[in-house]
């Protein structure tokens, strides 16, 4: 236990300012993966495939500027139920399907595979993958990434020739064992307000480009300080489900949603917002960008906010909003 | 000095034309002085000798020796085993005097002495026809080597020496009178007056007990009983309290006798006089162990004890024979026991006695003192970090009591130093207390009751969504509490046997939580019993045997990620990516142990200690039998060789052997210790020591890969080896300073699973160098510094991050475990103190500065959300601690 407490000393020391400031998690300065969106073939909102069903995976990204092509290589396999560390496939024979999506044009990777009919009752369904934005996944990578007992000394290089922005990814896919154990993706957000003004659905466009000609975008000014950012979830999005308690008895619980926030400019007080059925509206503080940090022309700058909404059971909905940033007065 | 004894001398007469007479060997053979041998008549003084009756008138009579003068053995010649002869030719006149003389042969160094001696000798002249005649003869002068000097008689006396000092300041009390009176011989009294350096010495005291009385103007008198041992020096320090008009019969705060031979290969001791003066410890005695060889440096000043490359949980701290559940408060800045109640700390880094069990690392034994029995005394100290009070007073004739309390003051400033994003729900507060009651109902019994404990608590509120781990939110809190009621009974069973019984009981509680994702609550009602008998069977054989028992019902409530090996784990996963588990366990831990130790002295110089210990652990059902052997050999005055080897065993941690989340089928962890070295007193008060050690560990508890069932196994092994050099310069007469020097070079490695490569231990520190010294200046000033240079701790490179899509967090991908190191650590601590002594009280002002040049020592690495950036995390900055202390 003492060692556990000691382990926390490092992150706490970082929080307390004992180290240099690092790249903030919420600010999108390079392509950022948003997570696997899951949908069962024929039942698009369901994330939990049954054996024999086909699962579609889509991997959206957030871009700070123009979108780029993404090279995606991965496998679906029977994973080992690890207690800690990076999960890994049980063996080479445990691979269910290779997952490949290669696109030079800007498009999010989409792959699919079928859960074997004889998938073991208590096994883990695991996806391990690599994605390279603006480049090609290094073909040598995958073997070493799976072999965690002898990691490469020089670090993991995802993109071939180190060209592009690489991401290693993994996800355990909950498999539906019983009929009423299905999980659905979260519903769209009811509303997002910034400083009391509703942010409409994202009209698209490239962040940082002129926006005064997009009339539906609300405008904000640089150097305007802190404003409230409020998100509201639909009450019906919170599903009921069961977990097993310490005595292996089913315990009814209600979903809580995690909203991970990414922004192209400015600063967030919290990187995550959590909503519950009883408390569907939550807020945090958004600090509008400073002019010296985000130079803005008179035509304005389109700024985007991404909301990755998770139910932590495999469900994910990505939503984005945008506003037009004008130079401060 | 050289006594020239002549074994034999011969005259080879060479009268011209005469026949050679028989040698005159008999004439001097029996008497070194040249007196005639018994049965012979001395010749006349006149040098003539009448002819024997019947002797023919014409028969020549050779000259004979009347008085042979002793010649000294030449000083420049080493006496050998054989006599040395010088052949002379001499002319003996008719008056019997030696005229001409010359050397014919023999070692040149002896020539002059032989000539001088023979010229000063007297002879009876040769006679022819009854008339004295001049004769030229050859004379062999024989030098016999002087006998070897008589060996000095064995010392039948001892020495009592020491110093008389003012309290605390180490200022000599000039003019203090010291009177020693034998307890058995009323006529034996000695008196001395201490000099400017406060020292006194009584030499050649017959062995026995002495009543020592000290008087000094302006100070309360003091008495003490000391024992003088033949051939040994008993060193004492008396500190007199200012005369407050109270009859003061005590007044001494520390006493040091010549150390008995240790029971371990290496036992290092810091005495009370030095414990509270080590710079960088703020006067905390238990932190003084950091300066000793073999003691590693814990990161962030967490106060963990790292001994000879062993994990912190592998070592144990005892207070009067009872394990202490917690040694330091938050951050390791302060220990949980008031230093002013301690007399000494013994540090045994390995090869410890069979008395200690259930640990495979090292041992720290803390000895406490009896409260003052000469009236009320009190100490109050107020510092930047904490404040404390201590009161001592007698209760009746044979008992005395001490009460101590300390509370932290960090809470006064803590809120202003944490970032706004971290709310402070419960500011860090710690306190500790001590109650000591000592009672001597008879001259053979001492009973000690203690109740001591500590409480630490803090709680922070972390805003939801702070940082990159969504699970790190809510309250972060840590509370540790323990209270121990301890009783000790020491009884002198007979002149040759002693009995010690110690028992302790008390609750311990740890509560650590981080939001809903991590919570650990442990509650133990621990009972500990130890009983030991020490018996001197003969002069050369001493037997020690005993038993101890650790018994404790405990309850653990745990919420958090699955357990895993904590040491050698690399960068941990974020909490968000873990499957949070919940477990509750109630059980009883029972760990009995018995031991026996035989101390043999085949000669005065050699000590052999052979012991064996049996331990049982009810949680795992495993037991261990650990034989241990130690040998010490006093090769020469001040030089001791030592060596030892033994087996050591330790049960797995409770959380590792629980059925839910652990593995109840684990076995005990084992280790073999092999050590050896020497100690040498180069000069009076200056000792050096060199120790080498090797430890091999097996059945270490390690995680399975990925933590799959059975979660923990005993597949781990380890090896630790190194050497330690220590130097200690003691404060003494004419030397108002002391210093410690220690250097350790070592390597501590682990292998977690068969077939894996060896890796470095988390706290492997190749080089540990510490130099600490304190100089006591006149007028109550003292000043000191401690310098520490240590290799950086190993750390694991993170070679990338893998995005966990389900939980929206990146997991670190560890490189080779502990394959890189933090930069070297170095730090200078400084302490200055000024003391004033008033009529009835004393005052001290001190400044203790830790890390005086504010070195940014790297303790670890922090990473950004996806492990593509990193930044060094530095340890404690400069910490100046100003304090003031008053004593009555």
B582 neighbourhood in chain A, CB within 8 Å: 245-246
Q: Which of A24-28, B339-343, B692-696 has the lowest mean pLDDT?
A: B339-343
Q: Which of A74-78, B264-268, B810-814 has the lowest mean pLDDT?
A: B264-268
Looking at every residue in chain B, the average pLDDT score rounds to 84
Tell me how far apart the alpha carbons of residues B548 and B81 are, in angstroms, rounded to a whole number: 62
Q: Which of B706, B707, B864 sits opposite A23 (nearest CB)?
A: B864
Mean pLDDT of B562-581: 88
CATH number, domain with residue A198: 2.60.40
pLDDT-derived band at B158 (thresholds 50, 70, 90) equals: confident
Tell me how far apart the alpha carbons of residues B139 and B175 are, in angstroms, rounded to a whole number: 67
Whether the pLDDT of residue B454 is over 70: the answer is yes
pLDDT at B223: 75
Mean pLDDT of A176-190: 90
Domain-embedded: residue A8 = no
Give yes or no for A168 touching B (CB within 8 A): yes
From B656, which residue of chain A is nearest by alpha-carbon distance? A1
Range 499-558 of B in CB contact (< 8 A) with A: 510, 512, 514, 520, 522
A153 neighbourhood in chain B, CB within 8 Å: 799, 815-816, 819
A72 neighbourhood in chain B, CB within 8 Å: none
Tell me where in chain B the CATH 2.40.170.20 domain(s) lie: 363-466+479-579+593-887
Give yes or no for B806 touching A (CB within 8 A): yes
Q: In terms of domains, do A33 and A171 share one?
A: yes
Shortest Cα–Cα distance, A208 to chain B (Å): 24
Share of chain B above pLDDT 70, in %: 86
Q: In terms of domains, do A213 and A164 share one?
A: no
Give yes or no for B588 touching A (CB within 8 A): no
Q: Which of A149, A181, A213 is the last residue of a domain?
A: A181
Among residues B524, B433, B514, B452, which one has the least CA distance to residue B478?
B514
How confident is the model over B630-660, as pLDDT tens digits? 999 999 988 999 999 999 999 999 889 888 8
How confident is the model over A250-262, as pLDDT tens digits? 889 999 999 999 9
Whether the pLDDT of residue B263 is over 60: the answer is no
Shortest Cα–Cα distance, A273 to chain B (Å): 6
pLDDT at B96: 84
Q: Which of B43-57, B61-75, B128-142, B873-887 has the lowest mean pLDDT?
A: B43-57
Range 86-105 of A in CB contact (< 8 A) with B: 86-88
Whether the pLDDT of residue B400 is over 70: the answer is yes
pLDDT at B630: 95
Contacts of B788 (CB under 8 A, 6+ apart): B290, B291, B297, B768, B769, B770, B825, B826, B827, B828, B829
Q: Which of A11, A81, A149 sits opposite B862 (nearest CB)?
A: A11
Give yes or no for B310 touching A (CB within 8 A): no
pLDDT at B248: 29
| Strand B177-182, strand B189-193: pairing | antiparallel
Q: Is B318 or B48 the better-scoring residue by pLDDT? A: B318
pLDDT at B349: 93
Mean pLDDT of B518-541: 93
Q: 3-state class of B171 per DSSP?
A: coil
A181 backbone dihedrals φ, ψ, rounded to 5°: -105, 20
Give yes or no for B754 touching A (CB within 8 A): no
Whether the pLDDT of residue B253 is over 60: the answer is no
Mean pLDDT of B524-534: 95
Whether A270 contacts B464, CB under 8 Å:
yes
Q: 3-state class of B87 per DSSP?
A: strand
pLDDT at B3: 33
Domain-embedded: residue A4 = no
Contacts of B506 (CB under 8 A, 6+ apart): B453, B482, B483, B484, B485, B525, B526
Count of structural domains, chain A: 2
A154 neighbourhood in chain B, CB within 8 Å: 799
Q: In terms of domains, do A155 and A264 share one?
A: no
Domain-embedded: residue A163 = yes
Domain-embedded: residue A186 = no
Give yes or no for B302 touching A (CB within 8 A): yes
A6 neighbourhood in chain B, CB within 8 Å: 299-300, 302, 304
Among residues B491, B567, B502, B564, which one has the least CA distance to residue B534?
B491
Tell me how far apart the alpha carbons of residues A294 and A303 are, in angstroms, rounded to a whole number: 10
In Å, how far are A141, A205, A302, A306, B657 from A68, measured between CA atoms?
A: 21, 14, 18, 17, 52
Tell me how far apart the alpha carbons of residues B134 and B14 are, in angstroms, rounded to a whole number: 11
A3 and B463 within 8 Å at the Cβ level: the answer is no
Q: Is B471 or B350 the better-scoring residue by pLDDT? A: B350
How confident is the model over B794-846, as pLDDT tens digits? 999 998 899 999 999 999 988 889 999 999 999 999 999 998 988 788 899 99
pLDDT-derived band at A13 (thresholds 50, 70, 90) equals: low
pLDDT at B57: 47
pLDDT at B270: 64
Helices (H), B296-434: 411-417
Tell me how far apart the alpha carbons of residues B574 and A86 are, in angstroms, rounded to a whole number: 11
B512, B514, B515, B516: CA torsion to nearest 10: -70
CATH number, domain with residue A79: 2.60.40.10
Whether B180 contacts B212, CB under 8 Å:
yes
Q: In terms of domains, do A169 and A239 share one?
A: no
How confident is the model over B1-27, as pLDDT tens digits? 333 322 222 333 333 333 333 333 333
Whether the pLDDT of residue A245 is over 50: the answer is yes
pLDDT-derived band at B100 (thresholds 50, 70, 90) equals: confident
How confident is the model over B102-143, as pLDDT tens digits? 888 888 888 888 888 888 888 888 888 888 888 888 888 888
Tell me how far apart the alpha carbons of residues B281 and B304 are, in angstroms, rounded to a whole number: 15
Total beta-carbon pairs less than 8 A apart between chain A and chain B: 209
pLDDT at B8: 27
From A28, which residue of chain B is nearest by alpha-carbon distance? B865
Q: Is A167 exposed, middle or buried (0-12, 13-18, 19+ CB in 10 A)?
A: buried
Pick from A115-119, A175-179, B87-91, B729-733 the range whose average pLDDT is largest: A115-119
How confident is the model over B479-506, as pLDDT tens digits? 999 999 999 999 989 888 999 999 999 9
Q: In terms of domains, do A168 and A200 share one?
A: no
Tell me where in chain B the CATH 3.30.2420.10 domain(s) lie: 10-143
Q: In terms of domains, do A161 and A75 share one?
A: yes
Among residues A4, A15, A248, which one has the least CA distance to residue B520?
A4
Mean pLDDT of B538-549: 94
Range 2-31 of A in CB contact (< 8 A) with B: 2-23, 25
pLDDT at B740: 92
Domain extent at residue A120: 23-181
Q: What is the CA radius of gyration of chain A?
A: 21
Q: Which of B813, B819, B861 sits opposite A86 (nearest CB)?
A: B813
Tell me where in chain B the CATH 2.60.40.1120 domain(s) lie: 158-255
Mean pLDDT of B227-252: 60
Mean pLDDT of B423-428: 70
Pick from A146-155, A164-173, B34-43, B238-247 the range whose average pLDDT is largest: A164-173
Q: Which secondary structure element, helix H or strand E, spans residue B489, and what is its range? A: strand B474-494
Among residues A59, A171, A177, which one has the least CA distance to residue A110?
A59
CATH number for B10-143 (one of 3.30.465.10, 3.40.50.10800, 3.40.50.970, 3.30.2420.10): it is: 3.30.2420.10
pLDDT at B42: 37
Q: Which of A15, A85, A274 sits opposite B573 (nearest CB)?
A: A85
Q: Is B714 or B217 the better-scoring residue by pLDDT? A: B714
Whether the pLDDT of residue B757 is over 60: the answer is yes
Q: Which of A45-49, A223-227, B23-27, B665-669 has the lowest mean pLDDT?
A: B23-27
Fold of B158-255: Immunoglobulin-like (2.60.40)
| Strand B158-165, strand B233-239: pairing | parallel
Among residues B586, B521, B529, B520, which one has the least CA distance to residue B553?
B586
Domain B363-466+479-579+593-887 has CATH 2.40.170.20: yes
Q: Is the ipTM of this complex over 0.85?
A: yes
A13 and B583 within 8 Å at the Cβ level: the answer is no
Whether A169 contacts A141, CB under 8 Å:
no
From A57, which residue of chain B is nearest by alpha-carbon distance? B805
Domain-embedded: residue A17 = no
Q: Which secondary structure element, helix H or strand E, spans residue A253, and what is its range? A: strand A250-254
Whether B308 contacts B720, CB under 8 Å:
yes
List, as one string, the DSSP characters of A274-296. Answer: EEETTB-EEEEEEEPPPTTTS--
Structure tokens that stand for A163 in this block: 């060209």
Give yes or no for B478 touching A (CB within 8 A): yes
Q: In terms of domains, do A205 and A253 share one?
A: yes
Q: Is B794 or B211 the better-scoring residue by pLDDT? A: B794
Whether the pLDDT of residue B31 is over 50: the answer is no
Q: Which of A181, A202, A227 is the last residue of a domain?
A: A181
Q: In terms of domains, do A234 and A258 share one?
A: yes
Domain-embedded: residue A284 = yes
Q: In terms of domains, do A43 and A165 share one?
A: yes
Whether the pLDDT of residue B36 is over 80: the answer is no
Give yes or no for B306 touching A (CB within 8 A): no
């Amino acid at each position: 236990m003492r060692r556990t407490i000691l382990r926390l000393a490092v992150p706490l020391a970082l929080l307390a300012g004992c180290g240099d400031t690092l790249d903030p998690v919420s600010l999108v300065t390079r392509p950022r993966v948003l997570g696997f969106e899951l949908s069962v073939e024929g039942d698009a909102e369901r994330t939990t495939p049954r054996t024999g069903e086909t699962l579609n995976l889509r991997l959206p990204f957030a871009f700070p500027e123009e979108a780029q092509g993404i090279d995606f290589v991965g496998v679906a396999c029977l994973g080992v139920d690890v207690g800690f560390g990076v999960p890994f496939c049980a063996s080479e024979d445990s691979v269910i399907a290779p997952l490949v999506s290669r696109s030079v044009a800007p498009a999010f990777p989409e792959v699919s595979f079928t859960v074997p009919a004889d998938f073991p009752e208590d096994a883990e369904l695991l996806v391990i993958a690599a994605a390279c934005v603006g480049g090609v996944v290094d073909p040598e990578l995958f073997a070493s990434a799976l072999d965690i007992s002898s990691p490469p000394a020089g670090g993991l290089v995802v993109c071939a020739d180190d060209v592009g922005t690489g991401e290693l990814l993994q996800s355990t896919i909950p498999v539906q064992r019983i009929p009423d154990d299905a999980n659905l993706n979260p519903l769209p957000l009811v509303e997002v307000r910034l400083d009391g003004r509703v942010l409409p659905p994202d009209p698209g466009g490239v962040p940082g480009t002129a926006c005064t000609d997009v009339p539906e975008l609300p405008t904000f000014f640089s150097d305007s300080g802190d404003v409230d950012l409020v998100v509201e979830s639909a009450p019906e999005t919170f599903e009921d489900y069961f977990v097993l308690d310490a005595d292996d008895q089913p315990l009814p619980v209600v979903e809580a949603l995690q909203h991970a926030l990414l922004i192209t400019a400015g600063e967030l007080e919290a990187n995550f917002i959590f909503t519950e059925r009883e408390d569907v509206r939550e807020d945090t503080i958004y600090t509008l960008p400073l002019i010296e940090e985000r130079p803005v022309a008179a035509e304005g700058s389109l700024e985007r906010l991404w909301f990755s909404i998770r139910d932590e059971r495999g469900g994910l909905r990505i939503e984005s909003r945008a506003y037009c940033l004008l130079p401060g007065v | 000095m050289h006594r020239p004894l002549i074994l034999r001398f011969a005259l080879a007469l060479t009268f011209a034309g005469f026949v050679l007479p028989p040698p005159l060997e008999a004439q001097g053979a029996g008497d070194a002085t040249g007196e005639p041998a018994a049965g012979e008549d001395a010749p006349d003084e006149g040098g003539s000798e009448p002819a024997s009756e019947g002797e023919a008138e014409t028969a020549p009579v050779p000259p004979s020796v009347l008085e042979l003068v002793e010649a000294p053995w030449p000083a420049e010649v080493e006496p050998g085993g054989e006599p040395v002869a010088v052949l002379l030719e001499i002319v003996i006149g008719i008056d019997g005097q030696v005229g001409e003389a010359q050397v014919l042969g023999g070692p040149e160094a002896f020539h002059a002495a032989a000539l001088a001696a023979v010229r000063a000798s007297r002879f009876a002249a040769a006679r022819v026809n009854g008339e004295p005649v001049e004769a030229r003869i050859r004379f062999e002068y024989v030098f016999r080597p002087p006998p070897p000097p008589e060996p000095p008689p064995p010392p039948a006396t001892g020495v009592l020496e020491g110093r008389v000092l003012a309290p605390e300041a180490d200022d000599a009390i000039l003019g203090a009178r010291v009177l020693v009176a034998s307890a058995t011989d009323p006529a034996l009294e000695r008196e001395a007056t201490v000099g400017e350096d406060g020292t006194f010495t009584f030499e050649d005291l017959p062995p026995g007990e002495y009543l020592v009385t000290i008087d000094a103007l302006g100070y309360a008198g003091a008495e003490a009983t000391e024992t003088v041992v033949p051939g040994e020096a008993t060193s004492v320090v008396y500190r007199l309290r200012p005369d407050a008009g109270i009859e003061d019969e005590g007044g001494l705060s520390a006493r040091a006798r010549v150390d008995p031979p240790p029971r371990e290969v290496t036992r290092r001791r810091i005495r009370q006089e030095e414990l509270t003066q080590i710079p960088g410890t703020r006067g905390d005695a238990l932190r003084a162990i950091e300066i000793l060889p073999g003691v590693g440096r814990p990161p962030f000043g967490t106060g963990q004890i790292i001994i000879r490359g062993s994990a912190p949980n592998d070592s144990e701290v005892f207070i009067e024979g009872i394990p202490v559940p917690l040694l330091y408060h938050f951050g390791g800045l302060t220990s949980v026991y008031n230093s002013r109640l301690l007399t000494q700390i013994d540090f045994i880094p390995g090869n410890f006695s069979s008395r200690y069990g259930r640990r495979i690392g090292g041992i720290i034994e803390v000895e406490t003192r009896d409260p003052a029995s000469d009236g009320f005394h009190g100490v109050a100290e107020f510092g930047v970090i904490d404040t404390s009070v201590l009161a001592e007073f007698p209760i009746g004739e044979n008992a005395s009591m001490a009460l101590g309390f300390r509370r932290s003051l960090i809470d006064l400033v803590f809120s202003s130093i944490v970032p706004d994003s971290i709310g402070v729900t419960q500011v860090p507060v710690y306190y500790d207390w001590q109650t000591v009651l000592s009672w001597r109902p008879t001259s053979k019994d001492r009973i000690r009751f203690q109740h001591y404990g500590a409480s630490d608590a803090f709680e922070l509120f972390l805003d939801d969504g702070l940082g990159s781990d969504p699970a790190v939110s809510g309250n972060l809190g840590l509370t540790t509490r323990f209270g121990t009621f301890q009783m000790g009974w020491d009884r002198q069973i007979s002149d040759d046997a002693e009995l010690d019984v110690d028992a302790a009981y008390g609750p311990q509680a740890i509560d650590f939580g981080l939001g809903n994702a991590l919570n650990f609550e442990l509650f133990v009602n621990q009972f500990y019993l130890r009983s030991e008998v020490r018996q001197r069977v003969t002069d050369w054989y001493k037997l020690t045997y005993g038993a101890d028992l650790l018994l404790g019902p405990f309850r653990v409530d745990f919420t958090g990620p699955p357990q895993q090996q904590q040491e050698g784990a690399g960068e941990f996963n974020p909490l968000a990516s873990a499957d949070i588990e919940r477990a509750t366990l109630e059980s009883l831990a029972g760990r009995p142990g018995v031991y026996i130790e035989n101390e043999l002295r085949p000669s005065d110089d050699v000590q052999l200690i052979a012991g064996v210990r049996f331990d049982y652990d009810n949680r795992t059902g495993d037991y261990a039998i650990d034989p241990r052997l130690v040998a010490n050999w006093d090769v020469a005055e001040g030089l001791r060789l030592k060596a030892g080897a033994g087996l050591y065993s330790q049960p797995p941690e409770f959380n590792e052997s629980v059925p839910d989340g652990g593995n109840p089928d684990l076995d005990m962890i084992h280790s073999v210790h092999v050590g050896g070295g020497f100690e040498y007193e180069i000069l009076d008060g200056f000792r050096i020591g060199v120790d080498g050690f090797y430890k091999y560990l097996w059945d270490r508890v390690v995680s399975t890969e990925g933590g799959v069932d059975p979660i923990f196994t005993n597949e781990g092994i380890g090896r630790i080896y190194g050497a330690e050099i220590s130097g200690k310069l003691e404060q003494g007469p004419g030397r108002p300073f002391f210093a410690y020097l220690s250097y350790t070079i070592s390597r501590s490695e682990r292998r977690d699973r068969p077939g894996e490569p060896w890796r470095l231990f988390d706290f492997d520190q190749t080089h540990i160098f510490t130099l600490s010294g304190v100089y006591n200046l006149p007028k109550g000033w003292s000043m000191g510094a401690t310098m520490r240079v240590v290799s950086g701790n190993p750390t694991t490179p993170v070679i990338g991050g893998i995005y966990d899509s389900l939980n929206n967090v990146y997991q670190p991908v560890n490189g080779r475990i502990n394959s890189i190191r933090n930069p070297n650590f170095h730090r200078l601590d400084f302490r200055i103190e000024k003391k004033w002594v008033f009529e009835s009280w004393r005052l001290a002002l001190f400044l203790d500065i830790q890390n005086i040049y504010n070195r940014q020592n790297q303790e670890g690495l922090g990473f950004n959300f996806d492990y593509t950036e990193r930044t060094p995390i530095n340890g404690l900055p400069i910490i100046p601690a100003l304090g003031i202390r008053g004593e009555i």
